[in-house]
């Protein structure tokens, strides 16, 4: 005679329950792709955006990068600072080539300005 144990779970039911989650995540990735197309379409109708793209192409404005006809800020990296005690994380935008001096400046301007100096240092 077979006796069901209370601490055991139905593994087949758990595997089938992931099917809905994978369909949901798959639909999210399609929405994001569609969102980028919509942003490009709307950007082409905005006069101020078109003027800014022309300034970037001519080299007048160096604050933005042009990639796939979309403007991006000049940041391509993210510095992540995590407090191991509280598990608090800060995300700091950084340039693609972030040298030590620039990383230190970003750290002091974002983290130390917000939290202050540690007493242990």
> Could you read off the pLDDT of 22-62 as tens digits, one per residue?
777 666 666 556 777 887 888 888 888 888 888 888 888 77
What contacts 70, CB < 8 A, 6 or more positions away? 36, 39, 40, 43
Round the average pLDDT of the chain to a whole number and report it: 75
Contact 72, 52 (CB under 8 A): no
List of residues 6+ apart from 1 with CB closer than 8 A: none
- pLDDT for 72 beyond 70: no
pLDDT at 114: 78
Given this model, what pLDDT does residue 49 score? 81
The pLDDT, as a whole number, for residue 9 is 58
Domain boundaries, the chain: 9-61, 75-121
Q: What is the pLDDT of residue 68?
A: 65
Q: In whole angstroms, what is the distance from residue 11 CA to residue 4 CA?
A: 13
Q: Check residue 66 and give left, alpha or beta (phi > 0: left; psi -120 to 50: alpha).
A: beta
């Amino acid at each position: 005679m077979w006796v069901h144990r209370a601490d055991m779970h139905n593994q087949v039911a758990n595997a089938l329950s992931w099917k809905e989650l994978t369909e949901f995540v798959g639909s999210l990735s399609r929405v994001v792709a569609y969102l980028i197309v919509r942003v490009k379409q709307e950007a082409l109708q905005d006069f101020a955006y078109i003027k800014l793209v022309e300034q970037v192409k001519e080299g007048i404005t160096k604050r933005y990068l042009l990639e796939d006809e979309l403007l991006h800020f000049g940041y391509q990296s993210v510095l992540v600072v995590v407090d191991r005690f509280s598990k608090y994380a800060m995300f700091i935008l950084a340039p693609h080539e972030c040298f030590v001096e620039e990383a230190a400046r970003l750290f002091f301007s974002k983290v130390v300005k917000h939290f202050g100096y540690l007493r242990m240092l």
